[in-house]
Structure 1
Amino acid sequence: MPPNWDKLRGQLAGKLVLPADPAYETAKLAYNPLFDSRKPAAVAQVANPSDVQACVALAYASRIPIAARSGGHSYVGYSTPDSGLVVDLGGMKDVQVQPDGTATIGAGARMMDVYAALANAGRCLPAGSCPTVGIGGLTLGGGVGVLTTKFGLTCDKLVSAQIVTGDGKLRTVSASQEPDLFWALRGGGGGNFGIVTSFTFRTEEAPQLTVFQLQFPGGSVADVLGGWQQFIATAPDELWTTMGVSGGNPSTCRINGCFVGSPTGLNPLLNKLIAATGTQPTNRYTLSKSYVDAMKYFGGCASYSNAQCTPSWNGNGVLKRESFTATSRVLAKPLSDPAKFAEVMAGRSGMDVLLDSIGGAAGRVGATETAFPHRGALATAQIYQGSTAASARTAVGEVRDNLGAVIGDGAYVNYIDASLADWGTAYYGPNLPKLRKVAQQYDPDGVLSFEQSVAKA
């Protein structure tokens, strides 16, 4: 039967926005203008779990596509065609920190809101660097970030979650309650098993951090990568690094990161890193920062207030939307010939690859202990070009495939990519069969199914 939008509107504590409504053109927007041509049938701006249940019930009854939106960064435009319903969780963004250090966070909270609230309580959570990313998608895909080596992935801190599954039930899941579903939510990808409405995490005491950057001369990518990959394999957990490679003639590279501690403790480690590369940087700096200021630094909003470091298109901040094409690979082990990586980036002006370290605490969790399979790998590789033109999409796909031949064919599900070959294995590795079983158990009718959902892998 066709969806009864009037009935749904009457059931919601939040708002239902339809194409004829004045608010629709703003309500439908994602972070990336690449998806502006998408015209979902409706956007439900939900206020509580009951609203989410009503949306799932309508999707089941009408057999229309449904997808959740947390921060709006989804790389496939919420996986929702024009006939679908977007469940916008942005209104469910409360962050409550308990005396025991646990924090319950609404699934629509963006990272800057999370960081600021936790910092006010003297706490922190290992999570991503972009301030407008939502906690929901980040956690469900694993959650790589600047404290990964010290404290693990975001999903490693998850204690429990509330979720509306495809059968419309609101469930609380944890290690002792529906453990298979809890396992799947830690790295099994957003939207596969239901719509999470809140997360409860163990947090850590917020540390003082030192951020740094090393800029290296053009043409040194192979040498720097060779030294960096050897250094991070034995680096202390307190040091997290990301190596950025910018394509060109010649390609250039830099190493950014942060250290849990003071510059006094960091500088000897940087000296060892530089020695390992055999290349003197053209620029080196370190800055001591509080936890929340370090997160703002990595998010590109160090000069803004916490309130400003939020979206402008559907909030009161100053951060703009961004056009880009992106995908990923995973650096599974040190390269025997780093020059091959450099060759892939030669002449690729405008293309960046960011190698984010995922060792340390994150690497000491077993590959099947959570759904995130890339334990023991050195880094995820973000492949990024600041354009949505057809030529950019082609170039990004070429670099993805060429890097796959060099560093391995794994990929990070939080850069979900509709054109990735054998994506189920790339995202989930040995965990794919179990994830399929969990999806079948909790969404047997495929209410939440989409182009690259686990059920279709």
Structure 2
Amino acid sequence: MGFGRRTFIQATALVGLAAWERDWDRLRRGLTGRLVLPGDDVYDTVRRPYNTVYAHRRPAAVALCADESDVARCLDFAARERIPVAARSGGHSYAGYSVPEHGLVVDLSALRAIRVDHRGRAEVGAGTRMIDLYDELARAGRLLPAGSCPTVGIGGLTLGGGISVVGRRYGLTIDHLRAARVVTPGDRPRRTDDHTEPDLFWALRGGGGGNFGVVTSFTFDTAPAPDVAVFVLRFPAGAATDVLGAWQEWVLDTPDGLWSACDVGAGSPPSVTVAGSWIGPDGELDRLLDRFAAKVAPTERTVLPMDYGTAMRFFAGCLPACQPDDGSPFVASSRMLHRPVEPARVVSLLAGRRTGRVQFDTFGGAIARVRPDATAFPHRHAISSAQAYVDVVGVSEAEARRLLADLRDGIGHDTGYVNYIDPDMPDWPTAYYGRNLPRLRRVARRYDPDRVLAFPQGLA
């Protein structure tokens, strides 16, 4: 009896395994691009996330999609087989959500065509990297406010909002989005804009990557590219508290053309740097920096006039050229600030630490002139964002996460930026989406009723 029962179970399992393999073969045959499975020669390369804390993740397959019909076939397959599925543009998800364990990765990196027409309207494939987009826009003499990391994909960055080093002058990335091509589960690829399925278009502007559907391309309006002055201010040891306090006062009364960031880093004592961009007359920048220097004197003040393309490469760390970047292990979180933080509190959290930093980026200007409910991005009235970032180098992951929680909670406030997604964020739905959350959930239920795109911090 025992032998016969085991034989039956083993035979049933083999039949199931064979069916599973046939299903993968069917998907492979249906794709224009390539389906990569465990055991394939490139599997360990293509499955790897940027955040190597999650390098252990082993998806069941990675679909290297060649066009949006491949994306549709992948979503149909995932729905039929009831397996996790996630789109991947640049692969920079802070929580590794673009590489689902035992799931299907819909890799969009081949969808990277960029076309800029005579009006300055740009059609951008969802797998386009930021550095390639900036180079193409610079050649066309155009500007789009977007992220600074050169290997980040335009897809995830746009869907979360898109913070920029010229954002106070030009707004968020989503403020320039005019249409998108998107594949929703169980449906054909479609175009969405203000007039065609406007609820979906609203949700795609700040509702976060991985929700509603898989965007395959974006249509942006761009602006003429101006010259940009880049500045960097460095300060003596022990000045971090004074600098952060002075910076928070200074940025509240600066013109839209000035964006800046204050970076406080771990150490004994913690370090501090202020860097930024200016679009406007040179003399006015000098007066603005003089006003800040009167509060706390820098030991070094550098101002570099640049054309737009060179400035974007400066902030991307790509001068004279981008360095190879295969990712690194880190944990990160964020807060959106509606009032100044207590500088001494932030600095004390980093004092004596081997790793960790908090970067504060200015908001206001054009960002604040859009209503919080006009797009899904709710943080229009923030005065700055705070990104807490801890490298998992020389410390354990558990220790890094404890430090991150101390930083996140010590900064205060109860909001966060979905593009700095944190798997341990308290009350993450409200933190990321605020009062826009109920409408976003209604849109998610409409376009993904079977929760095909569900993930731990997904709206489905």
TM bucket (normalised to shorter chain) is: over 0.9
Tell me, in whole angstroms, the C-alpha distance in 2 between the residues paired with 1:147 and 1:113.
18
Residues 396 and 220 (structure 1), Cα distance of their counterparts in 2 relative to 1, 3 Å cut: farther
Partner of 1:110: 129
Q: Does residue 1:299 correspond to 2:304, yes or no?
A: no
Match among 167, 172, 177 for residue 148 of structure 1: 167
Q: CA RMSD in A?
A: 1.7
User: In 1, are the aligned partners of 2:145 and 2:164 still within 8 Å (CA)?
Assistant: yes
Partner of 1:33: 52
1:373-388 equivalence runs, <5 A: 373-387=378-392
Tell me, in whole angstroms, the C-alpha distance in 2 between the residues paired with 1:262 and 1:348.
41
Partner of 1:287: 304
1:409-428 equivalence runs, <5 A: 409-428=414-433
Tell me, in whole angstroms, the C-alpha distance in 2 between the residues paired with 1:112 and 1:78.
23
Q: Does residue 1:369 correspond to 2:388, yes or no?
A: no
Instruction: Output the amino acid matched with 2:456.
Output: E
Partner of 1:333: 339
Partner of 1:191: 210
Tell me, in whole angstroms, the C-alpha distance in 1 between the residues paired with 2:320 and 2:94.
28
User: In 1, are the aligned partners of 2:246 and 2:296 still within 8 Å (CA)?
Assistant: no
Q: Does residue 1:253 correspond to 2:253, yes or no?
A: no
Partner of 2:328: 322
Tell me, in whole angstroms, the C-alpha distance in 2 between the residues paired with 1:42 and 1:70.
16
Match among 242, 250, 259 for residue 240 of structure 1: 259
Q: SS in structure 1 opposite 2:231?
A: strand
User: In 2, are the aligned partners of 1:42 and 1:86 still within 8 Å (CA)?
Assistant: yes
Q: SS in structure 2 opposite 1:243?
A: strand
Partner of 2:201: 182
Match among 151, 167, 173 for residue 132 of structure 1: 151
User: In 2, are the aligned partners of 1:162 and 1:198 still within 8 Å (CA)?
Assistant: yes
Alpha-carbon distance, 1:2 to partner: 4.1
Tell me, in whole angstroms, the C-alpha distance in 2 between the residues paired with 1:239 and 1:191.
33
Alpha-carbon distance, 1:135 to partner: 0.1
Alpha-carbon distance, 1:396 to partner: 4.3
User: In 1, are the aligned partners of 2:389 and 2:404 still within 8 Å (CA)?
Assistant: no
Alpha-carbon distance, 1:66 to partner: 0.5
Instruction: Output the amino acid matched with 1:137.
Output: G
1:195-218 C-alpha deviation (Å, 9 max, x unpaired): 000000010111111111111222
Tell me, in whole angstroms, the C-alpha distance in 2 between the residues paired with 1:407 and 1:270.
29
1:219-238 equivalence runs, <5 A: 219-238=238-257
Q: TM-score, normalised by structure 2?
A: 0.92
The answer for unaligned runs of 5 or more in structure 1 is 310-316
Tell me, in whole angstroms, the C-alpha distance in 2 between the residues paired with 1:214 and 1:262.
19
Partner of 1:91: 110
Partner of 2:71: 52
Which segment is superposed worse, 136-145 or 388-397?
388-397
1:253-300 C-alpha deviation (Å, 9 max, x unpaired): 11101111454332111111222xx21111110111111111111111
User: In 2, are the aligned partners of 1:76 and 1:417 still within 8 Å (CA)?
Assistant: yes
Which segment is superposed worse, 168-177 or 120-129?
168-177
Tell me, in whole angstroms, the C-alpha distance in 1 between the residues paired with 2:58 and 2:410.
37
Alpha-carbon distance, 1:108 to partner: 0.2
Tell me, in whole angstroms, the C-alpha distance in 2 between the residues paired with 1:156 and 1:319.
29
Tell me, in whole angstroms, the C-alpha distance in 2 between the residues paired with 1:51 and 1:223.
54
Tell me, in whole angstroms, the C-alpha distance in 2 between the residues paired with 1:389 and 1:89.
34
Partner of 1:343: 348
1:372-451 equivalence runs, <5 A: 372-387=377-392, 391-451=396-456
Partner of 1:313: none
Alpha-carbon distance, 1:324 to partner: 2.1
User: In 2, are the aligned partners of 1:79 and 1:451 still within 8 Å (CA)?
Assistant: no
User: In 2, are the aligned partners of 1:330 and 1:407 still within 8 Å (CA)?
Assistant: no
Alpha-carbon distance, 1:249 to partner: 2.5
The answer for unaligned runs of 5 or more in structure 2 is 1-18
Tell me, in whole angstroms, the C-alpha distance in 2 between the residues paired with 1:33 and 1:80.
11
Residues 144 and 99 (structure 1), Cα distance of their counterparts in 2 relative to 1, 3 Å cut: same
Residues 338 and 143 (structure 1), Cα distance of their counterparts in 2 relative to 1, 3 Å cut: same
Tell me, in whole angstroms, the C-alpha distance in 2 between the residues paired with 1:107 and 1:389.
35
User: In 1, are the aligned partners of 2:127 and 2:155 still within 8 Å (CA)?
Assistant: yes
User: In 2, are the aligned partners of 1:221 and 1:252 still within 8 Å (CA)?
Assistant: yes
Tell me, in whole angstroms, the C-alpha distance in 2 between the residues paired with 1:262 and 1:189.
36
User: In 2, are the aligned partners of 1:330 and 1:411 still within 8 Å (CA)?
Assistant: yes
User: In 2, are the aligned partners of 1:246 and 1:349 still within 8 Å (CA)?
Assistant: no
Alpha-carbon distance, 1:6 to partner: 1.1
Residues 13 and 90 (structure 1), Cα distance of their counterparts in 2 relative to 1, 3 Å cut: same
Tell me, in whole angstroms, the C-alpha distance in 2 between the residues paired with 1:347 and 1:330.
26
1:79-124 C-alpha deviation (Å, 9 max, x unpaired): 5433200011000001110111110100000001100111111101
Match among 356, 364, 371 for residue 359 of structure 1: 364
1:372-400 C-alpha deviation (Å, 9 max, x unpaired): 11111111111112226763554444444
Alpha-carbon distance, 1:223 to partner: 2.0
Q: SS in structure 2 opposite 1:348?
A: coil
Instruction: Output the amino acid matched with 1:241.
Output: S
Tell me, in whole angstroms, the C-alpha distance in 1 between the residues paired with 2:110 and 2:420.
24
Which segment is superposed worse, 424-433 or 338-347?
338-347
Identity of aligned residues (%): 49
Q: Does residue 1:273 correspond to 2:292, yes or no?
A: yes
Which segment is superposed worse, 379-388 or 59-68?
379-388
User: In 2, are the aligned partners of 1:34 and 1:388 still within 8 Å (CA)?
Assistant: no
Alpha-carbon distance, 1:78 to partner: 2.9
User: In 2, are the aligned partners of 1:329 and 1:400 still within 8 Å (CA)?
Assistant: no
Instruction: Output the amino acid matched with 1:63.
Output: R
Q: Please say which structure displays the higher CA radius of gyration.
A: 2
User: In 2, are the aligned partners of 1:263 and 1:286 still within 8 Å (CA)?
Assistant: no
Residues 69 and 79 (structure 1), Cα distance of their counterparts in 2 relative to 1, 3 Å cut: closer
